[in-house]
């Protein structure tokens, strides 16, 4: 009787421990994947991230409908909906939850400590609390980082090359999408590196845009950096129009944000990252623990210049930037 009680107790302990660990290897059935994203999955994103992910999986022998299924959820640009979307996906009992961009990754982090998560295109995963280190994440999350503060500094350099006479530049951002600590520490470093004043302009949506641009005029802003987040993506057409109407040179965080009013974009190559993320998913489906799968860093950056927008804004594109551009829109 004592032996049976001890065995039962041991089984209960093992069950409790296993419930806290990421799921094991998928054998004998199609794998179940889930995908969480904040912006609406419109055609540009379908092409840039969904198609790229499926291509990467196909290259590894995973064919949708044959040996895996995938369930999508989008918060349609509404940050507050992400926790609900994450819970909906987790009720489907996925083997791996894939997230796109920082807000979705943070929602997944809060929603589960057991389901393996592959977080794609996040900022610094250690600073965000997604991982203990790049080489050994330690929890249920691994993924691909896309450079955060470093790439913003590079965008500011590109902006300065476009408008070398500007004494002040602005940053348009959604305060809800900025991590703990806000922008102030980074602003200090960027201003030192750039040698000119940088003014932040918070905007949570279209009702804030007119006020932000009016403030830029009052402050004598000569160029604008537009942060890449769900807010600016959802309203990219309006913001591009406002940049044209106000003759505001602007640099953005992704080519899909450019609709005719943006001068340039400098960003990690999104299709490359999502294609590469398939390898991380494959490792987990074969039994690897995400906490032991190193976080990767995006290795391919893309500079896109809209020469047509430059002409409309009366901006001369420096020859050096033209030569270094990966793509020029004519």
Segments forming the whole domain that contains residue 211: 149-268+302-329
Same domain for 273 and 252: no
Phi, psi dihedral angles at 282 (to 5 degrees): -60, -40
Q: Are residues 166 and 110 part of one domain? A: no
The torsion angles phi and psi of 127, rounded to 5 degrees, stand at -65, -30
Q: Are residues 26 and 72 in the same domain?
A: yes
Q: Are residues 220 and 307 in the same domain?
A: yes
Query: Cα separation of 37 and 153, whole Å?
Result: 26
- Residue 2 covered by a domain: no
CB–CB of 34/73 below 8 Å?
yes
Per-residue pLDDT of the chain (330 residues), as tens digits, is 444 444 444 444 444 444 344 454 677 799 999 999 999 999 999 999 999 999 999 999 999 999 999 999 999 988 899 999 999 999 999 999 999 999 999 999 999 999 999 999 998 899 899 999 999 999 999 999 987 778 999 999 999 999 999 999 999 999 887 766 678 888 988 998 888 899 999 999 999 999 999 999 999 999 999 999 889 999 999 999 999 999 999 999 999 999 999 999 999 999 999 999 999 999 999 999 999 999 999 989 999 999 999 999 999 999 999 999 999 999
323/186 same-domain check: yes
The reply to whether 8 falls in a domain is no
CB 194 within 8 A of CB 247: no
Helices 184-194, 149-162: crossing angle, 10 deg rounding: 40
Domain count of the chain?
2
Indicate whether 157 belongs to any domain: yes
On whether both 228 and 125 belong to a single domain, the answer is no
Whether residues 36 and 124 fall in one domain: yes
Same domain, 168 and 294: no
Question: What is the chain's alpha carbon radius of gyration, rounded to the nearest angstrom?
Answer: 22
Whether the CA torsion 285, 62, 99, 146 is positive or negative: it is: positive
Token pair recorded at residue 83:
């926790």
Task: Judge if 117 and 251 occupy the same domain.
Answer: no
Q: Do 30 and 171 fall into the same domain?
A: no
Q: Is residue 14 part of a domain?
A: no
pTM of the predicted protein model: 0.86
In this structure, the answer to whether residues 170 and 225 fall within a common structural domain is yes
Q: Which residue pairs from 179-185 have beta carbons closer than 8 angstroms and sit at least 24 positions apart in sequence?
A: 179/102, 179/123, 179/127, 179/128
Does residue 145 contact residue 295 with C-beta atoms inside 8 Å?
yes
Co-location of 274 and 248 in the same domain: no
Any idea what the CATH number is for the domain that residue 158 is in? 3.40.50.2300
């Amino acid at each position: 009787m004592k032996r049976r009680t001890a065995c039962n107790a041991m089984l209960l302990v093992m069950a409790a421990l296993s419930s806290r660990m990421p799921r094991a290897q998928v054998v004998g059935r199609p794998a179940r994947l889930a995908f969480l994203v904040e912006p609406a999955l419109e055609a540009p994103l379908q092409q840039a991230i969904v198609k790229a992910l499926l291509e990467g999986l196909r290259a590894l022998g995973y064919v949708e409908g044959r040996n895996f299924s995938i369930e999508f959820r989008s918060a349609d640009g509404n940050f507050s909906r992400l926790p609900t979307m994450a819970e909906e996906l987790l009720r489907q009992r996925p083997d791996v939850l894939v997230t796109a961009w920082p807000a979705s990754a943070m929602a997944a982090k809060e929603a589960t400590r057991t389901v393996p998560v592959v977080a794609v295109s996040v900022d610094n995963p250690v600073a965000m609390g997604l991982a203990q280190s790049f080489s050994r994440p330690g929890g249920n999350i691994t993924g691909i980082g896309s450079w955060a503060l470093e790439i913003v500094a590079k965008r500011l350099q590109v902006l300065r090359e476009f408008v070398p006479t500007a004494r002040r530049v602005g940053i348009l951002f959604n305060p809800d999408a900025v991590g703990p600590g806000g922008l102030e520490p980074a602003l200090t470093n960027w201003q030192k590196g750039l040698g000119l004043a940088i003014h932040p302009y918070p905007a949570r949506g279209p009702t804030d845009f007119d006020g932000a641009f009016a403030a830029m005029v009052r402050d004598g802003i000569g160029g604008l950096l537009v942060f890449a987040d769900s807010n600016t993506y959802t309203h990219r057409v309006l913001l591009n129009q406002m940049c044209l109407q106000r003759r505001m040179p602007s640099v953005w965080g992704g080519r899909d944000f450019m609709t005719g009013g943006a001068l340039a974009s400098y960003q990690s190559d999104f299709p490359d990252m999502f294609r590469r993320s398939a390898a991380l998913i494959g490792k987990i489906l074969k039994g690897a623990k995400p906490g032991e799968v190193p976080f990767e860093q995006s290795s391919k950056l893309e500079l896109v210049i809209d020469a047509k927008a430059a002409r409309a804004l009366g901006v001369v594109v420096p020859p050096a930037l033209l030569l270094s551009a990966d793509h020029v829109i004519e």
